[in-house]
Amino acid sequence: RKEVEQDPGPFNVPEGATVAFNCTYSNSASQSFFWYRQDCRKEPKLLMSVYSSGNEDGRFTAQLNRASQYISLLIRDSKLSDSATYLCVVNPRGPQGSSNTGKLIFGQGTTLQVKP
């Protein structure tokens, strides 16, 4: 099983639509969670951290379900500029007794294409 799994898409949606991405992770002791955005041929950029209580940043809402090892990202009122690949990212806990090196595990990404 992959450490972080995402539906690769692509998701093709019209402007103004609401779209949701899901992600599952295998390490139940994972410590922190993020969504990154990557535009074509560019570097990943942090979109938002994901907190246990859920968090919102404008049109973007992130949710974490530790019991199900599941993370989601909701985008409301999609814009053309939201077209990109969205990466689910997890900081796993290392083997027992090892220190956390801050490493991040990236999912393969979900591609979103917003159409006019």
Partner 1 sequence: ETGVTQTPRHLVMGMTNKKSLKCEQHLGHNAMYWYKQSAKKPLELMFVYSLEERVENNSVPSRFSPECPNSSHLFLHLHTLQPEDSALYLCASSQFPRTGNNEQFFGPGTRLTVL
In the complex, the residues that contact partner 1 under the rule CB under 8 A are 4, 32, 34, 42-46, 49, 87, 91, 99-109
Q: To which residue do tokens 């159409």 refer? A: 115
Strand ranges, E, within 26-83? 32-38, 44-50, 55-57, 60-65, 70-75
Judge contact between 52 and 64, C-beta under 8 A.
yes
- Quick one: 18 or 100, whose CB is closer to partner 1? 100
Query: Whole-angstrom Cα distance, residue 21 to residue 75?
Result: 9
Least distance to partner 1 from the beta carbon of 37, Å?
11
Residue 19 beta carbon to partner 1: minimum distance, rounded to whole angstroms: 21
Q: Based on CB atoms, which residue is closest to partner 1, 78 or 107?
A: 107
Q: How far is the CB of 77 from partner 1 (least distance, A)?
A: 26
